[in-house]
Amino acid sequence: MLALVALLGGCSAPVRPELPAAAPTSASVRVPSDGATLRDLGVSNGPVTAFSLPRTVLISTSVDQPNGVTLVLSRPSPDAVAGYLRRALPQAGFEVTGDNQATATLTFTGYGWHGSFTGTGDSSAVILRP
C-alpha cells in the first residue's frame, strides 16, 4: 500500500511551465554610460535591467506585456540605435544572432528572451518575446 501511495504521489506532482530565465541584477550587467535600461524607460516586462537603448531615445508607441514588449522609436535614427545595440548587447550578456548592417536589422537572445530590431527612414522598433 505504501508503495502505491508513493507511486501515485509521484504521478500527481504539479507540472511547472517553462519560465524565462530570471533577469540579471543591475550589478551583474554593464550598461553603457549613454544607455538607459528598459526599467529606466518605464517598461515593466522583459529583461528590464539588462536590455538598454540610447539614453536619447524617444518612444512613440509601446506595448508592455508579459508575453512581449514592443517599442516604436522616433529618435535617434535607426542607424544610431543599431550602432548602440551592436555595442551594448554583447557587453550586457546578449548574443547577437543576426546583423544586417545594410538594413539596420538585428536579432538577439538573452535572459530567456528573443529580440529583434529594425529601422527604416526616421523610425525603428524593438520587439522582445520570451
CB 81 within 8 A of CB 55: no
The conformation of residue 23, written as its DSSP 8-state character, comes to: P
Taking the C-alpha atoms of residue 113 and residue 78, their distance in angstroms, rounded to an integer, is: 22
Ramachandran region of residue 99, left (φ > 0), alpha (ψ -120 to 50) or beta? Answer: beta
**Tens-digit pLDDT profile for residues 77-121:** 999 999 999 999 999 999 999 999 888 899 999 999 999 999 999
**Tens-digit pLDDT profile for residues 29-71:** 889 999 999 999 999 999 999 999 999 999 999 999 999 999 9
In this predicted structure, what is the pLDDT of residue 105?
A: 95
Domains of the chain, each with CATH number or no CATH: 29-129 (3.30.310)
Closest CA to 18 of 112, 81, 124, 109: 112
CB 108 within 8 A of CB 95: yes
41 burial via Cβ count (<10 Å: 0-12, 13-18, 19+): middle
